Every structure is written in C-alpha cells, then in structure tokens.
Amino acid sequence: MIKNYLKTAWRNLFLNKTTSLISMAGLAVGICCFLLLTTYLINELRYDGFHTNADRISRLTFSYKSADDADVKTAALTPTAPVPVFKQEFFDVEDGVRVVNYSNMRAAVVQFGDKIFKEKKMLVADASFFKIFTFNFISGDTKSALDNPSSIVITASTAKKYFGNDNAIGKILKVDQKNNMMVTGVVEDVPEYSQIKFDLLGNYAMMPRSLTRAWNSSNDYSYFLLKPNADREAVAKQMTNYITKDRPLSNDKMWFNLEPLTKVHLYSSATYGLEPGGNIKYMYILGLVAVILLVLACVNFLNLVTARSAERAKEIGVRKVMGAMRGQLFSQFIIEAGIITLISLIVGFALLDLTLPAFSTFTGQQLGLHTWNLSWLVIALVTLFVLVTLLAGTYPSLYLSAFKPIITLKGGSSMQSGGNMLRKSLVVFQFVVSVFFIISTLIAGNQLRFMQSLDTGINRDQVLVLDMGGMPYSKIETFKTEIGVQTGVLGSTASYDSPVNVRGGYSINIAEGKNADFNLSVTAIPVEKSFTKTLGIKLVAGSDLDVGDEQQVMDTAESKRRFSFILNEKAVAALGWQPEQAIGKKIGLNGRMGTIKGVAKDFNFASLHEEITPIVMFPEYDWFGKLLVKTSGKNTAKTIANIQASWHKFYPNAPFEYHFLDQEFEALYKTDQRTGSILTAFTIIAIFISCLGLFGLAVFSTRQRIKEIGIRKVLGAGVASIVGLVSFDFIKLVLIAILISSPLAWYAMHAWLQDFAFRAEIHWWVFAIAGGTAALIAFLTVSYQSVKAALSNPVNSLRSE
C-alpha cells in the first residue's frame, strides 16, 4: 500500500513539474532562511552559557538616584570594595572576582623582542578568575595561573603572534614599557559568544587601586559565584543593606543588583558594560521573522495544491468510485506533501551550508553548523520535517479527500468557492507580510540615516582619533605643536574619553545657593583647553577654557587647585539656573572646587537611544586617553602619513594606530544596523517567496481561463485588455493587503522608535512607496503569464470546443 502511494505521489510530482518546482523552491528557501535565523538566534542566546558554573555566576551592577536626579542611573562599573568585602560578609557568596578593562583606559603596548603591538583586548582580574569562569587551558595551571602579581595569561592566537610555534610559558612580555609580565598560561581563543573577551589577561595586582577597598570611583566589573540554591535577589538585597545601613536619614536611593551572567548580553540595561550588549527585543523580532518566512513557504504549497483541486477533482472522483476511502486518499496526499517537504528540507539544508559563510560575514558573527549542538540539529530537522509536512499538507489533504465523486465526475466541485476564498485569503496574507516587511525596512533605514545625519552638536567630520593613554601631557603638547603646522591639520585636542561616548560618572555635591545635602549625578570628562573649539561645540553663555585655566590646575598643588567648568544647558537647568545666571557660580565636582566659566549648547555625548543628560567639561591634565586631530579632509592619506612620521619620532616604541571619530559614533548603533541589514535581506526573500506563490497561482488562473481568453481574442479583445482582466483579480488582493498591513506596520514601528530618544518621523510616503513597490512586483509577476496567454493562438485553445 505504502509503496503504491509513493509511486503515485512521485508520478504526480513529475506530471506537474512547474507546481512541484515552485512548491519545493519556496519551501527550500523558507527552510533555509528559518535555519539561518535560528542559527543566529542560538548564537545570541547561548552567550556565556559555556562556563561550567554559568547558572551560579552573577554580575554586580549599581543603581543610584539622589533627590536631585531626574532618573535612576544603573551602571555595570563598581568600586574596588564589593568583591573582597562581600566574599567575607555573606555566606551565600562562594567566590568573587574583579575584572578591569585595561585596554579601555589605554590600548596596551605589548613588546616581545622586536615585536611590538597595541593590544585592544587586555583585561586584568583577581587570581580567582579561572576558578569562577571556564576557559580551556592549552598549557599552564588553571588553579595558579594568576597567583603571581606579574602573571599574564594569553590566548592561543596571541601566543602564535608573539612566539610562533615556541612554547609561550615562562616568556616575558613587556606591557607599556614598565610591566614585565610572565606568561603562565595559554588558553584557547575566547568564544565570540562570550561577553568577557580578552587576548591577554593580567593580574589585578598590577593596578595601584588593588591595594584599596574603596566604595567610590567605580571602574571595576564585579562578578560573584553564588553557592548552589542561593537566592540571587535575597543576596543582592543583603548587599544593598550593607552599604545603606549607615545612611538612614539620606534621601538618596542606592542599591545593588545581581544579574545572571547568561542574561547580561541580551537583557541588561546597565551602562558601561564590558562590550556593547544585544537587545532581547531584536531577538523576538528576528524569531518572528524566521517563523513568518517558514509559514509563507508553507502557505505557497497549500495555495498551489488547493489551486490544483479542479484538475485533480476527477482523479479523486474515480478513486472514490473504485472504492477508495477518505483515509486512504488523505494518506496519499499527505505522502505527496511529505516527499516535497523532504526534498525541500534537503535542498534547504544544502543552501544553509552554502550561505552560512556569507551570512556570518553579513552579521559580523562567527556562525556555522558548529553553532548547533549536533543532537539539537538532528531534532530540529526532524521536527521541521514533521511540522512543515503537517502545516503544508494537512489542509490540502483534508480538502481534496472530501470531494464528492458525483459532483466531481460531472465536472464541478462542491468546494470550489471555498477553495477560491481560501486562496485569496492566503495571497492577502502573503502580501500583508511582504508589505509589512517593506514598510518596516524603510522606516528602520530612515531612522539609521537620520541618526547618521543628525546634528549632534559635535563636528565629527574628518576627526582622527589617536590613543595617547598614559603618555605625559608635556610630551602630548609637544607632539601637538609639531603636527599643528602640517598641511591638512586644522587643530587638535586631548580628552580623557571619546566625545561621542563619554562614560565618566560624577556628581555635583556642592552648588552655590543649594542645600548642604545637594547631590546631582552628572557625566563629566576631563578635557584640554581647545576641546570645544576643535569639535565645534557651541557656547551659549560665558567663554571657553584658556591658558589661564590650564595653568590654574597644572601649576598648583592638588589641594589648592581651582577649576573652571563648562556645563551643558541640561546641567545648568538641573541646577535651576539660566545659562547667563550660571556664569561665575561656584560648584564642587567630586571634590574639585571651582566656578562655571561657560555653558555649552546641548550636544549628544552618548548613544541617540538616550536623552541628553547633564555633562560637565573641566581641565585636568593628569591623564588623557584620546588625541583628536581635526583635518581638512583634503589629501587625507598624505596628512595621515605626515602625522605618522611625527608619531614615530615622538613614540618610537608605540605602534601608530588611528581611526575616525565617525567610526566610533557608528559603532554605537552596531546592533541596530545589523538587525536592519538582516531585516532588509529577509524582506527581499519574503517578497521572493510571495511572488513564487503568486506566479504559481497565475499559471493556474490563466490555464483555467484559457478558453475564455481565446473567445475574447476572437471577439476582438487586445493584449492589454486581457492582461488587465487576468491581473486585476490579483492586484485587487494586493491592494487589500496594503490596507491591512499599513496600520499594523505603523503601530509596530512606532513602538520600535520609542527605544530612540532622537527619532525620525514616520512619513506618509513610506507607505506609498511600500504599497507601490508591492503592487508593481505583483503586477510584473502576474503579467508574465497574462501576456503569454494573451499572445497565444486562440485556435489552439478553442480546438476542443
């Protein structure tokens, strides 16, 4: 019986090659896209899950809101004290480790012999690091790898870079010309799906602050290994109580949070993480896209099978007259669906293997079949086969097997009108999805372009960024003087941090005319006197920093320094002053006393996802991390070459590396851009799948109306009128889809845009373009068959009449 079903099913596939190929092509593409997106989602969702104790590891974050702050501030950075103190104080804390992003302060200059590199992925951590986290050692002892203050652990690729095939253990690396670090371990390269990434890992003891247990100056990342069955929220509450027990009368609110390690990448809202996190909302969106694409492909199959119902009606009638039961017919049709699904699954999997390398490059992730657990992959493929077969085959099988033999053998079908309604509904559904995707892609693209073109109050154009971390200011000033006379250099300035992503958390705790307990959380950045001028930051009141302000903080003992501050409009407003009123007012910033010298027009110093908040710029020449060089943009290559020549003269032991400030700005929206690109690609695929189904339906439609078309041609109908006649029914369905999808897309994208503090408007022309594009694509898809039928010889179609 089964053998006969298989033979019949195979014969039917060959008898209807066009239908079969369209069905299999649509299903194969849908399955491939589903698996591609699922691979990407698995990679995102598995972040940090490879650690043996991942379920017991938590990251500490700190939240704070004073009575004078508008919003709660939550940061991933913590002081030096929590880890050593909480390890001693709380029973449920088994172990803890402090991690510092050494390369965030400066790209470490690492030397071995004549090999010198700037390392941008260097961390330092307590000796307990490898007792908490699981990184596979190639050589060295896991338990004692970081016991010595001068120990350093490197990855396999780093070992290859410095030592070739030689044994790295015991070799000495010189870090920043002052720290001789002995290699005590080599680990496998850190997986891309780890939010703790490093090429080199030094001992926390190399940091001067390792000798202190401070509760201020947050620069560490603190991780805790909790004991089995410990209540994470209860432990966090104990930690909060510990730091607030001596502040019963304070109006300030502060608390600790313990974030599960495996949730940090996608769920954390804390600022200043080790690396930019993902967004769980985008995972939901992409997961929904994956399912929709698979459903679209199944809808194609369902639609094409029901469209062929009239052609198979007599076959079904004959089978029923000969004694076939409905269950046997159902089995026959479900086996046909299974064969098409199996072939599509094989082709789709082959496409997956072929496209994964390109998709990996496209998404910036290291994706491959290795991303999957083998047993998961097998289960997924089997489940996919069963689900697609049932989803695409069950209704057509029930539909076809229910035909009544008397009616079908007379040439009619009692269920034809129902079938027509179903097919029309499915076409509308397909184009609702396609138009929704087109609108969403256009709005997302418009938002990304809006962010790139928005006047953020900083002139980022043609600004080179050089890493100067740790270099004495006297040498920086001499270097600036030399490059300042070069052709193509318009100016330069130094700052502690990147001006498009300032990370310094400070507080104004003294302000003229305010109560003694006044406390306003602000962002602040130490800058050089030429900072605002070089970056085009406009002042609305007061004046810029000058040589006098510089000398006031450089030539005076630290305890007697007096600072000049530049505040933005938000900071001045939070203090309750107008810009002109603020000039000359005395304030204290984390112990730095001085006066407000200028008020800057509000500018974006963080992601456009965030509102502009108070910021303070002040001259402090103890440490600068960035040198910002404004160039003319003319003959940029020569300008950079000249700067490089000067660099090697001043810093012969430091490699010359640079990037443009615009690149830092764009990196803030990496997740948005990646999701937008994926959405664009799969929008095209959704349209392709929808058009495949539409093309198949057009084939059947013209075939069923071939005699009608022949009669119309004999009576004088032209090609244009026939094309319009055949196409109108389909275009009408597309227009209905546009009307349904437009409000849905508006609602969804309006909600998405709320994640941006600065967002583009949703314009009417987006819907016009999306609808027009969908209608044009549908018309072109259908018109091919319409034109072909209109140009056919009516004699051939009417010969049997």
Pick 788 or 433 by higher pLDDT. 433
Degrees, nearest 5: CA angle 332-335-339: 140
- CA 132 from centroid of its chain's CA atoms: 28
Q: What is the pLDDT of residues 648-698, one digit of tens each?
A: 898 888 888 899 999 888 888 888 888 888 888 888 888 888 887 777 777
Task: Give pLDDT, residue 722.
Answer: 73
Where residue 424 falls among pLDDT bands split at 50, 70, 90? confident
> What mean pLDDT is predicted for residues 303-329?
65
Q: Is the per-residue pLDDT at 705 higher than 60?
A: yes
Q: Determine which of 56-65, 271-280, 342-351 has the lowest per-residue pLDDT on average.
A: 271-280
Q: Is the per-residue pLDDT at 400 higher than 90?
A: no
Which of these, 108, 138, 135, lies nearest to 121 by C-alpha position? 108
Q: What is the pLDDT of residues 478-503, one digit of tens each?
A: 999 999 989 899 999 999 888 988 88
Q: CB neighbours of 245 closer than 8 A, spacing ≥ 6?
A: none
Task: Give pLDDT, residue 249.
Answer: 47
Percentage of the chain modeled with pLDDT above 70: 85
Pick 476 or 316 by higher pLDDT. 476
Task: Give pLDDT, residue 397.
Answer: 65
Q: Is the per-residue pLDDT at 414 higher than 50?
A: no
* Residue 454 CA: distances (Å) to CA of 458, 676, 719, 762: 10, 18, 51, 16
Task: Give pLDDT, residue 409.
Answer: 54
Task: Give pLDDT, residue 247.
Answer: 57
Q: Is the per-residue pLDDT at 390 higher than 90?
A: no
Where residue 776 falls among pLDDT bands split at 50, 70, 90? confident
Cα-Cα end-to-end distance for the chain: 39
Pick 244 or 222 by higher pLDDT. 222
Percentage of the chain modeled with pLDDT above 90: 41
Q: What is the pTM of this model?
A: 0.83
Q: Is the per-residue pLDDT at 747 higher than 60?
A: yes
Q: Is the per-residue pLDDT at 237 higher than 90?
A: yes
What does the alpha-carbon distance between residue 352 and residue 358 come to, in Å, rounded to a whole number?
Answer: 10
Q: Is the per-residue pLDDT at 387 higher than 90?
A: no
Q: Is the per-residue pLDDT at 223 higher than 70?
A: yes
The overall average pLDDT reported for the chain is 85
Task: Give pLDDT, residue 412.
Answer: 52
In the structure encoding, which two tokens stand for residue 543, read together?
């004046």
Q: What is the pLDDT of residues 12-52, one digit of tens each?
A: 666 666 667 877 888 899 999 999 999 999 999 999 999 99
Helical (H) or strand (E) element with 169: none
Task: Give pLDDT, residue 362.
Answer: 84
Q: Is the per-residue pLDDT at 193 higher than 70?
A: yes
- Radius of gyration in angstroms for the set of CA atoms belonging to the chain, rounded to a whole number: 34
Task: Give pLDDT, residue 653.
Answer: 80
Where residue 336 falls among pLDDT bands split at 50, 70, 90? confident
- DSSP alpha helices (H): ranges in 274-373? 280-307, 309-321, 326-363
Q: Is the per-residue pLDDT at 775 higher than 50?
A: yes
117 neighbors 161 (Cβ within 8 angstroms) = yes
Q: Determine which of 11-20, 191-200, 586-595, 735-744 has the lowest per-residue pLDDT on average.
A: 11-20
Q: How many CA atoms lie within 13 A of 106 on its CB side?
A: 15
Return the DSSP state at 487: T
Sign of CA dihedral 176, 182, 183, 185: negative
In the structure encoding, which two tokens stand for residue 406, read together?
């008397």
Pick 801 or 81 by higher pLDDT. 81
- DSSP alpha helices (H): ranges in 514-564? 531-535, 547-554
> What mean pLDDT is predicted for residues 185-212?
92
Task: Give pLDDT, residue 415.
Answer: 46
Task: Give pLDDT, residue 515.
Answer: 87
Task: Give pLDDT, residue 795.
Answer: 54
Q: Is the per-residue pLDDT at 321 higher than 70?
A: no
Q: Bin 488: left if φ > 0, else alpha if -120 < ψ < 50, else beta.
A: left
Task: Give pLDDT, residue 73.
Answer: 83
Q: Which residues of 378-406 are buried (b: 16+ CB within 10 A; e: fewer)?
A: eebbeebbeebbbbbbebbbebbbebbbe
Q: What is the pLDDT of residues 434-471, one digit of tens each?
A: 899 899 989 988 998 888 888 899 999 999 999 887 68
Pick 419 or 385 by higher pLDDT. 385
Task: Give pLDDT, residue 66.
Answer: 78
Task: Give pLDDT, residue 295.
Answer: 87
Q: Is the per-residue pLDDT at 731 higher than 70?
A: yes
Q: What is the pLDDT of residues 61-119, one digit of tens each?
A: 988 887 777 788 888 999 999 999 999 999 999 999 999 998 876 778 899 988 999 89
